[in-house]
């Protein structure tokens, strides 16, 4: 947001106080302070406030002199010193941002020269709170008390909460997994709704209209309907009314401390302001030394068929058009929508391919979970009566998203028709480089895969793919045998098929099993708990595969995202506000028998780490209001914090949260306000250059980047996060 736009979002009294404080933002440029060694491509100095040096505040340098907008962010040390290293040539605007401060004027900075900066104290608590991460604001939502559940409906004497809403946890799960996970609830233009929608008699009317804006209105309407809808609307209206009347978050964030002060973030613009980017990829996740200093690719999901590409060496960004196979492939432009306060009647999304997720392989090919045809155009060999080996066991009537592969060397796309639906995807460690996929939806009853070696040799999608039902070994036979279907009663003498669609998917590097994760009802809208799911393929997965499921402990709920470390320990994030690990080797009870279908047979395998920050009032304080979309385990020390470090995409706290030596550290990205990421990817560009040759990559992941501080002109950005040994390292 420009200074003018940011000022417009603040109350008049706060503005007046800020103007009075503005003279403190003067700067000096000259010799570097003691301890700051400035090279020809660095800017460094000291940040000072009225009471002396300012520790743990961010210094931001941004330029528009490169082919795409470029910025870098560092944190001051305990003496207020800072060093921004490795800046490309150009004219920079430099400023200070920090808790307890407001942004001062952006001053001119030149690489190779010292630049001391003056911090501007926030004149009021309201001005300071403007910079708080979104979760501090959305934690102000008043969650219905635990004794209001199960809901009693809208009828006479009902409490307005649907009867299927069985617990307070289910309500919180819906708010986080169906609302926050895509729309960054606490961001500026959510907590302070824009007035362009018109005048309304009440805030409830405003919210009813608001969730009909734009091309995500279908999902928003379903989500709010699960909360009431009147009861849910009232909760959101009450929240934004209280914010409008000056209520502030009950807790304040702490400035970066310790390890978090070593962070360096580099930002590049890419894609269009209307693009909704889901993920970015830089290398083969199984070998992060591949493709050093190479291109970054993105997945634009519903918004467009144009795949964004960034060259971080030349600072150039461009697009690649992803094709479709069928002329009637659905388009997001055809979805119902209401006028948007940002874009009016314009359909800003026109994507057909629904590019949800992407991954690179050891050959340099880029693989996409992409829609290439209508769901109902399912090949007959996939369906009941079809002659595909997997169809004989688990026929599939439709698939809403398939696969594709792009060869950067030739520019060729191959479109791969799959019978199974795709969502997330990950390569196995076998000689065939099998690509395992997740289902993503609430009705997934199959695990799908593609033998990529065979496909690239034959270009035959049919013979290269397979899928398998998920079958639990209730009797303990240790092999696949007769099973009852998911809708049949449990028979202790037979195995049991379950329906629990993978959301995340991850082959284990330790034993070759395939781990997945299914969602609680807040996302899946199926009235069953979320699980970690272990699929043991066997020699012929369609006929030999067996499944185990594991529920989180009763004090936690709703896993989202999954990864597996080098020892086979599984990591996930929970909507209860935890980073969690599951170690199957700790299980003491039998993993077969009737209890195996509940997932409650190994609570001893779980370890929970509460995310920092506030909790909703009246909700179990063992959890946190913070929320993470996914988790990634840094098995290869790409960030420099050690092997097997889990990194949670805690977009509620606008950070990446890392677990190092049993302690959580939040690497918060303060600019643009509203940092929101869904996944990360690590790459080692040069193992011989220390921290400078390592880092993790991510992208703006919200459906609405225009909700953030810079408004409708904000482009999605690529972020590279690196960790120095200390805040002044070059």
Q: Encode pLDDT of 47-59 as tens digits.
A: 999 999 999 999 9
Tokens at 679, concatenated:
């996944």
Q: How many CA atoms lie within 13 A of 573 on its CB side?
A: 33
| pLDDT attached to residue 283 | 98
At 349-376, the pLDDT tens digits run 999 999 999 999 999 999 999 999 999 9
| pLDDT attached to residue 12 | 45
Give strand pairing partners of 364: none
Record the pTM. Answer: 0.95
| pLDDT attached to residue 713 | 87
At 490-500, the pLDDT tens digits run 999 999 999 88
At 381-436, the pLDDT tens digits run 999 999 999 999 999 999 999 999 999 999 999 999 999 999 999 999 999 999 99
Rounded distance, CA 581 to CA 164, Å? 29
- Which CATH fold topology does 3-129 show? Immunoglobulin-like (2.60.40)
| φ/ψ bin of 409: left (φ > 0), alpha (ψ from -120 to 50), beta (otherwise) | alpha
In terms of C-beta density within 10 A (0-12 exposed, 13-18 middle, 19 or more buried), how is residue 413 classed? buried
Distances, alpha carbon 279 to alpha carbons 365, 654, 717, in Å: 16, 16, 11
Dihedrals phi, psi of 682, to nearest 5 degrees: -110, 145
Give strand pairing partners of 656: 667
Rounded distance, CA 357 to CA 279, Å? 6
At 521-554, the pLDDT tens digits run 877 777 788 999 999 999 999 999 999 999 999 9
| φ/ψ bin of 640: left (φ > 0), alpha (ψ from -120 to 50), beta (otherwise) | left
| pLDDT attached to residue 441 | 57
Q: Evaluate whether 122 touches 102 at the Cβ level (below 8 Å).
A: yes
Q: Evaluate whether 339 touches 347 at the Cβ level (below 8 Å).
A: no
Greatest CA separation for the chain? 81
HEC-encoded secondary structure of 2-35: CHHHHHHCCCHHHHHHHHHHHHHHCCECCCCCCC
Q: Looking at residues 172-200, what average pLDDT do you find?
A: 88
Whether 641 has a pLDDT exceeding 80, the answer reads yes
- The residue ranges of every structural domain in the chain are 3-129, 134-244, 449-610
Tokens at 677, concatenated:
């990421």
Angle in degrees, CA 638, 279, 448, rounded to 5:
100
Q: Looking at residues 678-702, what average pLDDT do you find?
A: 96
Rounded distance, CA 545 to CA 526, Å? 24
**Which residue in 98, 12, 122 sits closest to 47, CA to CA?**
98
Q: Evaluate whether 308 touches 271 at the Cβ level (below 8 Å).
A: yes
Q: Which residues contact 539 (CB under 8 A, 6 or more apart)?
A: none
**Which residue in 191, 183, 170, 165 sits closest to 220, CA to CA?**
183
Lowest mean pLDDT among 23-27, 30-34, 133-137: 23-27
Whether 328 has a pLDDT exceeding 60, the answer reads yes
Tokens at 272, concatenated:
């269009």
Q: Evaluate whether 699 touches 280 at the Cβ level (below 8 Å).
A: yes
Whether 17 has a pLDDT exceeding 60, the answer reads no
């Amino acid at each position: 947001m420009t200074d003018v736009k940011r000022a417009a979002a603040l109350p008049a009294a706060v503005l007046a106080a800020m103007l009075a404080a503005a003279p403190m933002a003067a700067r000096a440029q000259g010799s570097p302070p003691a301890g700051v060694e400035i090279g020809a491509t660095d800017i460094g100095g000291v940040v000072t406030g009225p009471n002396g040096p300012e520790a743990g505040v961010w210094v931001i340098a941004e330029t528009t002199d490169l082919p795409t907008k470029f910025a870098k962010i560092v944190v001051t040390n305990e003496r207020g010193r800072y060093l921004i290293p490795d800046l490309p040539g150009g004219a920079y605007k430099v400023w200070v941002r920090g808790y307890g401060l407001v942004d001062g004027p952006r001053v001119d900075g030149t690489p190779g020269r010292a630049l001391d900066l003056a911090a501007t104290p926030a004149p009021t608590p309201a001005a300071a709170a403007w910079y708080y991460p979104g979760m501090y604001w959305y934690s102000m939502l008043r969650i219905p008390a635990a004794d209001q559940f199960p809901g009693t409906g809208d009828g006479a004497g009902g409490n307005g909460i649907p009867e299927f809403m069985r617990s307070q946890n289910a309500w919180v799960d819906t708010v986080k997994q169906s609302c926050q996970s895509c729309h960054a609830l606490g961001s500026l233009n959510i907590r302070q709704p824009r007035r362009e929608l018109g005048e309304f008699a009440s805030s409830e009317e405003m919210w009813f209209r608001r969730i009909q804006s734009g091309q995500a209105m279908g999902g928003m309407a379903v989500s709010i309907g699960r909360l009431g809808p009147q009861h849910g609307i009232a909760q959101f209206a009450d929240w934004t009314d209280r914010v409008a009347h000056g209520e502030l978050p009950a807790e304040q964030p702490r400035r970066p401390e310790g390890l978090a002060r070593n962070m360096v973030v580099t930002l590049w613009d890419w894609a269009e302001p209307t693009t909704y980017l889901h993920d970015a990829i830089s290398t083969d996740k199984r070998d992060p030394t591949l493709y050093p200093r190479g291109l970054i690719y993105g997945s634009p999901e519903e918004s467009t068929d144009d795949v964004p590409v960034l060259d971080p060496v030349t600072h150039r960004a461009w697009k690649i058009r992803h094709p479709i196979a069928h002329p009637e492939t659905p388009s997001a432009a055809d979805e119902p929508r209401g006028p948007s306060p940002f874009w009016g009647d314009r359909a800003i999304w026109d994507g057909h391919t629904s590019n949800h997720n992407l991954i690179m392989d050891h050959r340099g090919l880029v693989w996409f979970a992409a829609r290439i045809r209508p769901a109902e155009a399912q090949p007959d060999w996939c369906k009941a009566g079809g002659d595909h080996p997997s169809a004989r066991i688990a026929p599939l009537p439709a698939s809403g998203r398939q696969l594709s592969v792009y060869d950067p060397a030739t520019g060729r796309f191959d479109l791969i028709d799959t019978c199974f639906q795709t969502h997330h995807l990950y390569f196995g460690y076998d000689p065939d480089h099998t690509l395992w996929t997740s289902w993503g939806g609430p009705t997934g009853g199959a695990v799908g895969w593609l033998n990529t070696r065979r496909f690239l040799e034959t270009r035959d999608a049919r013979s290269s793919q397979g899928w398998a039902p998920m079958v639990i070994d209730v009797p303990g036979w240790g092999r696949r045998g007769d099973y009852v279907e998911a809708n049949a009663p449990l028979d202790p003498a037979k195995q049991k098929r379950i329906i629990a669609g993978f959301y995340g998917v991850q082959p284990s590097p330790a034993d070759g099993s395939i781990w997945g994760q299914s969602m609680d009802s807040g996302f899946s809208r199926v009235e069953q708990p979320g699980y970690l799911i272990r699929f043991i393929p066997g020699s012929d997965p369609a006929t030999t595969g067996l499944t185990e499921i594991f529920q989180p402990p009763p004090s936690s709920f709703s896993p989202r995202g999954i990864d597996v470390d080098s020892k086979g320990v599984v990591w996930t994030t929970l909507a209860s506000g935890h980073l969690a690990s599951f170690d199957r080797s700790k299980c003491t009870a039998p993993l077969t028998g009737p209890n195996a279908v509940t997932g409650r047979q190994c609570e001893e395998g779980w370890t929970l780490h509460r995310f920092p920050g506030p909790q909703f009032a009246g909700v179990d304080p063992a959890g946190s209001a913070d929320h993470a979309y996914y988790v990634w385990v840094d098995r290869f020390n790409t960030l420099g914090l050690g092997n097997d470090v889990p990194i949670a995409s805690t977009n509620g706290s606008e950070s990446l949260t890392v677990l190092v030596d049993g302690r959580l550290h939040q690497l918060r990205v303060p600019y643009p306000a509203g940092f929101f990421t869904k996944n990360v990817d690590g790459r080692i560009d040069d193992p011989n250059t220390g921290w400078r040759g390592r880092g993790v990559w991510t992208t703006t992941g919200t459906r609405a980047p225009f909700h953030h501080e810079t408004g409708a002109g904000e482009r999605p950005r690529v972020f590279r996060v690196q960790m120095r040994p200390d805040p002044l390292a070059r």
